[in-house]
Amino acid sequence: MFYSVNLLFLTLLTFSTIITVSSPSWFCMWMGIEMNTMAFIPLMYNLYNKLPTESALKYFLTQTFASMIMFLAIILMMTKDFYYLNSSSNMLLLSTGIKSGAAPFHMWYPSVVEGLSWSQIIMLMTWQKIAPLTMMSMTQPSIVNMIMVVSSLTIGPISAFNQTSIRKIMAYSSITHMSWMIIMMYNSSSLWITYMLIYFLTTIIMIIFLQLLKIYHTMQINMINNKQYYMLLTNFLSMGGFPPLLGFIAKWLILNELINNSMVLVSILLVVSSCMNLYIYLRIIHPSMHMKMMNTKLTIMMPSTTMFFLTTISILSFLIILL
């Protein structure tokens, strides 16, 4: 019975996102994104753990607040007045920024991620971003976009510096990646979708890896064996955009497009932010590297089938070499 109910909400979650993406009007999009929120909240519930329930309550309150702003923006759009149209566009950007967890509207995002399981985090960091980002790409560019881009570039890496929770580090990494997608929404529709898909792929690979290894804090990386360690290092470098791994190709395409459009300053900020993220990942891995060199015996034994699966998904990080 429990799995059938989850399947029902997963189906509703899928169709609500499709409704939002393919709707002909803002009101239908609002209805779709509300269905999406209501379908995701029951999937966050856990009978044996109170933390997901707390995260579900935070998520519900935040999404409701953003939905009220979005609904008011849609009403103002119907007035056809130029002043109200400009205000409604900014309000719509504000609401979609809150729903997608972009800075400076990100305060709810790390705390919600911290209370979820890895499977729930995958849905929150990937599928749940499709609907608000699609709506954001259909609005007119304004100063709100640049505020979100600059804030995500700075707040994401800086906030992740002293974190020991892998889930919070992944949350702040997601906030940083939002800046890359937002900056390209009004320059190239195909490139921001390409970046989003590659970001989804690298995030899913990384989270599946962490889930199979049962890693939630940075100190637990010391307990994995050498083969698992180097595969984890490869996936961290791929997420940071280290060439020639998969995460590098998306950032390289966006930087190439921005430089061709004479947006050199923004490109420099994106590169600096990416280097800061890469430094954070290397800080996580570096202490474990010394312990591996000392041949410590405290390791986690894994079945051969799980090890084969980890090897397979790690190979996906090298797809850029084949391309």
- Is the per-residue pLDDT at 319 higher than 80? no
Please check the confidence at residue 297 and state whether its pLDDT lies above 50: no
Q: What is the pTM of this model?
A: 0.88
Give the lowest-confidence range in 29-43, 105-119, 283-297: 283-297
Each residue's pLDDT tens digit, 22-56: 988 899 999 999 999 999 999 988 777 788 889 99
Helix, strand, or coil (residue 165): strand
Q: What share of the chain is helix, strand, coil (3-state, %, to 5)?
A: 80, 0, 20
Identify the DSSP state of 221: G
pLDDT tens digits, one per residue of 191-236: 899 999 999 988 998 998 888 888 898 888 877 777 777 778 888 8
- Whole-number percent of the chain with pLDDT over 70: 86
Q: Using 50, 70 and 90 to split pLDDT, how confident is the model at 312?
A: low
Beta strands in 173-262 (DSSP E): none
Take residue 160 and report the two structure tokens written for it. Answer: 């992740």
pLDDT of residue 287: 65
Q: Among 55, 41, 53, which Cα is nearest to 12's?
A: 41
Residue 119, burial from CB neighbour count under 10 angstroms (0-12, 13-18, 19+): exposed
pLDDT of 298 reads 43
186: helix, strand or coil: coil
* Residues 186, 204: Cα–Cα separation, whole Å: 26
> What is residue 321's predicted lDDT score, i.e. its pLDDT?
47
Sign, Cα dihedral of 186, 191, 194, 200: negative
